[in-house]
């Protein structure tokens, strides 16, 4: 009977140690994730600043190039978007007869 209480205590201790280790791992992962998000936000801000400076320096042709790039991105996004079936259009005009 005494041995069973010792095993129970040992099991509880092992569970607590595991929970503490898991908590530390979760905290480290949360810090790393937050750091990655900050890094990505900084990179995005640098890219946006660089893009705006490039547009300002390029003049009208630069603006057209940026519009073309954005249009190309939209077309690529649209090409990969899921398709949806639209209902048949209603006939709104009367048929025209040519005499």
Rounded to two decimals, the pTM is 0.44
One-letter-per-residue 3-state SS of 6-60? HHHHHHHHHHHHHHHHHHHHHHHHHHHHHHHHHHHHHHHHHHHHHHHHHHHHHCH
The pLDDT tens digits of the residues spanning 29-77 come to 999 999 999 999 999 999 888 878 877 887 888 888 888 989 999 999 8
């Amino acid at each position: 009977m005494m041995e069973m209480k010792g095993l129970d205590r040992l099991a509880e201790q092992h569970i607590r140690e595991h929970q503490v280790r898991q908590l530390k791992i979760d905290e480290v992962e949360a810090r790393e994730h937050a750091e990655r998000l900050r890094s990505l936000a900084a990179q995005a801000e640098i890219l946006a600043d660089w893009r705006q400076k490039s547009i300002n320096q390029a003049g009208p042709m630069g603006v057209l190039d940026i519009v073309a790039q954005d249009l190309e991105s939209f077309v690529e996004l649209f090409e990969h978007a899921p398709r949806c079936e639209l209902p048949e259009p209603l006939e709104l005009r009367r048929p025209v007869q040519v005499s």
